[in-house]
Chain A
Amino acid sequence: MGSRRAYSAAAVIATLLVACPSAAEDPVPRIEVLPSATVVGTGEVFNLIVRVVTEDTSVESVTLPDLSAFEVLGQSVSNPVQVSFGFGSGGSGMQTTHTREYDIWLKSKKPGKVTLSEVLVKWKGKTYKGRPVVVTVTSQPPKQTSIPTPKSPFDDDWPFKMPGFPQPGIPQPMVPEPVAPAPDAGAGDDPVEAILEVTSLEGAQFDSKMFIQTLVEPPEVVIGQQVTLTLLLWSADSMVGSIEIPTEPGTDGFWVKDLLPPAAKVNFTPRIASGQTFQVAVLRKLALFPTEAGTLTISPAVVKTSAPFVGLLGGGSYTRTGVPVTVEVSGLPAQGKPEGFLGSSVGSYKLSATLAPQATDVDQPVTYTLTLQGTGNIEMLAAPKLEFPDGVKAYEPQVTDLVTLTGGMVGGTKKIEYLIMPSRPGKVSVGPVQWPFFDPASSGYRVLRAPTVVLTVNAVGGNEAQEATTQQGSAIQPQDAEDRLRPIRTVAALQKSRAQMVRTPWFFASVVFPPGLLAILYLVVLGRTVARGVSLRNPAGRAFRESTAMLRRVGQSGDHGEFYAGIQRVIYTYLERRFGIPATGMTGPELMRALVDAGVTAEAAEAVVKETENCEFARYGRSSSERNLDMAVVRARVLDTLAALERFEPRRGKAAGRGEAS
């Protein structure tokens, strides 16, 4: 219990000590000198921050150290005020913390040690000193350093929070595209520098509370030449609330490019005009490219501001209108205008042409690239007109603009890429290319020339073609030649789908045709047999066919004896095969009986016997009337006789028994 009381008393004392530090000591300004590096190379750019923090009131003056050993590239000053409310020992109260911060960009000149002398601060009638800082400059080459945008209350690392500070959402003028950051952007791109350049109040109507100023530079140009318009806000109040621009500066007759980033931050810098201190901010910075000649008037902008703490820290809401300013625009001279010149080609440029790759296969594309680089309205430049040789197909060019700002001047690179595809092997020459433009610096026309480039086309095509280069943006990155995808095809039949042959009706018909043909032939023969009256069930029908064939062959030598011998052989062979009757050597009656026994009618048997006897007579009897008959007639008669026998079914059992009878 006792220890608890002791802890409580100690806590109360500690709280009082922490809560009332000012009661224990007199306030002094906090002075910080912070170089971004204490060792830098020769020619290296570095940053020096001098910060003075005071309470209740701001400092009266600050004397910076001697910076003559360095080249001062840029400087900005900010005066944020932090307001806090608390409950001290004397009750509730408001406390303000004033900060003055110098943000200086320096570039070292030569090697050696440079001592930055003390910062002298005058505050409440007293002078305070900071500590000196030594910066060593070595002979090393400079490192890559970029100058950042000055801090603002909207940066995450902004040390002070100040409600009511101007918000970044100021309406932007209608511009085609945001400006890409310039890789070699210098101090000239810093809006603060534009303020430092102000030497008069031209383009402004002075007001002791607040006014706006419209600056144009240069005021006299030719068509297509850049004019830079800067819209400044001069405010006598140290703090300004929200800023609106209900009316933008009128830019009729100009092609406009915004020189500030889309989410521009408003930074105020102290300046003196007519003996009075103002806070000055850049609200707009535009590059204007006149599109017509004459006196072009930029109508005034209207700016509205509101106070951050009405009735607390003073200040108020204002609406201010600028003054109109004029720009004198001359037309381009007609004299010396080169052929092919286009009106928008104004500025200072270089032209180059490349071909990648320089060798390819037939029907494989290569890229011919024209690059225009320089200062001027790069987006409005017209591409040079190109004519490619026969046998080369060119697709619509792909135009890429990279706009940069250098010293407040719009410029950059226009890349025009032609995809071309040779259809014949050999050497193909592309170019030369000429491109005229007007140079305002020399007030004259100039013509740029890109030399001829030669493409070697190999006579390899189809599936064997190889990709000459790796495709851009490809997911497959080849590790060796085998990993490289073969190129796409340029020629295709592109027809509707056809059924596979095996599934077509005519394939089925082709398969069926040979056996079908055989079947038809068989049926024809069968039909003819039936037509002759031959029984379809007759198993010996083959004997008749063979006998018929034999019959056609006999007598070809023209000898009658041989003919009738052959006829007789045909008849005997037929009887042997058809009825199983061995007719050779049989007498007429024997043959007659055998035929009847085999199932043949007596009439038909008699006809057969008669034929055999005719043959006998004709062979041996020279006076036989048969010998005078035509052989064809005899063949036909014998054929009829045999055909007549085809009607009878042979009874082989009885025929076989003829031997016994004989």
Chain B
Amino acid sequence: MKKIASVLAPVAFFAVASPAGAETVHHLFEQGNERYWKGDYRQAVDIYYEIMRLGIEDTDLWYNTATAYARMGEYGRAAFFYEKVLRVRPRDSAAQHNLDVVRSTVARELSKTRQNVDVNPAETVWEGVLSWFTANELAVLFLMFYYAFFAAVAVRHFQRRPVGRVASSLFVGIFLALWLVSGAMLLGKYHAHFLSHFGVVLEKGIVMVREGPDAQSPRVFDVLEAQRLRVVDTSGDWVLVRDDKGREGWLSTDQIGRL
């Protein structure tokens, strides 16, 4: 196995790094799109996965994979890949629209057999604001205000005229405030993006969440296909999840896709 990996690794690297490799990847991408347009969604997904196995992590690739899954009626997997896209590109309107379509379709189908179906995740204002920015955007903002603050301090230091000193002091205050706000947002984003873990329910329909990491363990509550959950812990093939209401329980790893 190690030998195979050692052989495949340079091949994969070549496939991606070299111009010829990039061409191969784009050719595969076009093949996948072609299969999609011809209605062969399963094969399209297979080709997109082949590209991912080459180490490509691209939001457009995830987007197409999600759309192909949506076409197949595998809404959980579709939502999973749309969520991945939105984590990197939060203002991707097409991905957000399609995710809404997928979740509303799930809600419509499940509402035939169940009342009060809500697949959309609850979000606080703070989370909403944070989710509007990418981590990179907040990092750039943070650095910008940070340097602006130090520049304003330096200007103030060398400013002798009283008017100049007042004006530079004002700028020092403004940039300090912006620096602190952007820093707080960056910290929040970092926490949400890198320290907190989320997952999307892949299994179709209504899925039982269990009290313990065991298939025989009693049901605690239900979650729905394409629903987003917070991942709290893992134990072997089981994942401890928490829903928007704060309830916790266990799902097996094949029932949930971790973002």
Contacts and interface: CB of A to CB of B under 8 A. Distances in A.
Interface of A: 365, 395-396, 398, 419, 463, 471-476, 482-497, 500-503, 507, 510-511, 514
A491 B71 contact: no
B231 to A, nearest CB: 19
B33 interface: yes
Interface stretch (B3-11, B60-68, B113-121, B215-223): B60-68
Given A492-B58, A494-B51, 4 more contacts: A475-B73, A488-B68, A500-B193, A514-B147
Nearest to B65: A488
Nearest to B104: A483
Contact of A501 (B29, B38, B51, B136): B136
A497 B57 contact: yes
For the complex of A and B, the 5 pairs showing the least CB-CB separation, nearest first, are A475-B73, A492-B60, A497-B57, A486-B94, A472-B39
Contact of B139 (A484, A497, A507): A507
Interface string B18-56: 000010011001100110111101000000000100011
17 contacts: A419-B34, A463-B93, A475-B73, A483-B105, A488-B36, A488-B67, A489-B63, A492-B26, A492-B29, A493-B60, A500-B136, A502-B189, A510-B146, A511-B143, A511-B146, A514-B147, A514-B150
Nearest to A395: B34
A546 to B, nearest CB: 14
A20 B134 CA distance: 95
B53 to A, nearest CB: 12
B55 A496 contact: yes
Contact of B98 (A474, A485, A514): A485
A485 B94 CA distance: 8
Contacts of A484: 101
Given A398-B38, A483-B101, A503-B194, A494 B22 contact: yes
Contacts of B64: 488-489, 492
Interface residues of B, number: 52
Given A463-B94, A488-B64, A494-B22, A475 B71 contact: yes
Contacts of B139: 500-502, 507
Nearest to A517: B150
B73 A476 contact: yes
Nearest to A477: B105
B98 A486 contact: yes
A475 B72 contact: yes
A501 B33 contact: no
Given A474-B71, A476-B71, A485-B67, A494 B56 contact: yes
Nearest to A485: B98
Contact of B136 (A483, A495, A502): A502
B125 to A, nearest CB: 23
Interface in B54-98: 55-58, 60-61, 63-64, 67-68, 70-73, 92-94, 97-98
Nearest to A475: B73
A219 B139 CA distance: 84
B194 to A, nearest CB: 7
B129 to A, nearest CB: 17
Contacts of B51: 494
Interface of B: 16-17, 22, 25-26, 29-30, 33-34, 36-39, 41, 51, 55-58, 60-61, 63-64, 67-68, 70-73, 92-94, 97-98, 101-102, 104-105, 135-136, 138-140, 143, 146-147, 150, 186, 189-190, 193-194
A194 B166 CA distance: 109
Contacts of A496: 16-17, 55-57
A416 B138 CA distance: 52
Contacts of A472: 38-39
A383 B39 CA distance: 22
A481 to B, nearest CB: 11
Contact of A492 (B61, B143, B146): B61
Given A475-B73, A476-B71, A500 B56 contact: no
Given A485-B67, A492-B29, A511-B143, A463 B92 contact: yes
Contacts of A493: 58, 60
Nearest to B57: A497
A365 B39 CA distance: 12
B60 A489 contact: yes
Nearest to B64: A488
Contacts of A507: 139, 143
Contacts of B41: 473-474
Contact of A485 (B29, B37, B71, B190): B71
A642 B77 CA distance: 79
A476 B109 CA distance: 11
Given A463-B94, A483-B101, A501 B26 contact: no
A636 B102 CA distance: 81
Contacts of B104: 483
A85 to B, nearest CB: 58
Q: Which of A419, A471, A488, A495 has the most CB of B within 10 A?
A: A488
Contacts of B186: 502
A503 B186 CA distance: 12
Contacts of B38: 398, 419, 472
A490 B30 CA distance: 7
A504 B93 CA distance: 28
Given A500-B135, A502-B186, A514-B147, A471 B97 contact: no
Nearest to A478: B101
Contacts of B67: 485-488
A81 B190 CA distance: 87
A473 B71 contact: yes
A293 to B, nearest CB: 39
A492 B33 CA distance: 11
B105 A488 contact: no
Contacts of B30: 490
Contacts of B98: 485-486
Contacts of A398: 38
A639 to B, nearest CB: 22
A494 B135 contact: no
Nearest to B48: A488
Nearest to B55: A496
A360 to B, nearest CB: 12
A473 B40 CA distance: 8
Contacts of B16: 495-496
B26 A494 contact: yes
B189 to A, nearest CB: 8
A32 B39 CA distance: 54
A495 B70 CA distance: 24
B13 to A, nearest CB: 9
A577 to B, nearest CB: 20
A69 B194 CA distance: 87
Contacts of B73: 475-476
Nearest to A472: B39
A57 to B, nearest CB: 62
Contacts of A395: 34, 37
Contacts of A500: 135-136, 139, 193-194
A419 to B, nearest CB: 5
Contacts of B140: 501
B151 to A, nearest CB: 9
A488 B63 contact: yes
Contacts of A514: 146-147, 150
A365 B193 CA distance: 36
B146 A494 contact: no
A485 to B, nearest CB: 5
A476 B102 CA distance: 8
B167 to A, nearest CB: 21
B58 A494 contact: yes
A511 B187 CA distance: 14
B58 A495 contact: yes
Nearest to A484: B101
A502 B17 CA distance: 24
